[in-house]
């Protein structure tokens, strides 16, 4: 019974992680989308990639942050 409860608690976590890390759009370069000429793809962009780019942009625009407390 405990094993079933553990799996039921793990399923939402696995779904969220899968949705965040799954490829939602293939790379625009056709050479990267095929491996050895077959229909398999090499990867693509995911929600995680998008969040990293947005965070990097905000850090670039806002600049370095001030320390919360100074020791001097």
Tell me, what's the pLDDT at 29? 62
- Token reading at 30: 């056709």
Pairwise CA distance, residues 28 & 45, whole Å: 10
Of the pLDDT bands very low, low, confident and very high (cuts 50, 70, 90), residue 36 is: very low
Confidence class of residue 63 from pLDDT cuts 50, 70 and 90?
Answer: confident
* 42: nearest Cα among 53, 52, 51, 34: 34
Q: Write down the domain spans for the chain.
A: 2-61
Lowest mean pLDDT among 13-27, 30-44, 55-69: 30-44
Q: How confident is the model at residue 54 (pLDDT cuts 50, 70, 90)?
A: very high
Contact 23, 40 (CB under 8 A): no
**Whole-angstrom distance, CA of residue 64 vs CA of residue 70:** 15
Average pLDDT over residues 41-58: 82
């Amino acid at each position: 019974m405990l094993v079933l409860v553990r799996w039921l608690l793990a399923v939402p976590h696995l779904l969220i992680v899968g949705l965040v890390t799954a490829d939602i759009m293939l790379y625009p370069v056709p050479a990267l989308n095929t491996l050895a000429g077959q229909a398999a793809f090499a990867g693509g962009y995911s929600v995680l990639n998008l969040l990293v780019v947005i965070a990097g942009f905000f850090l670039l625009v806002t600049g370095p942050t001030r320390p919360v407390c100074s020791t001097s």
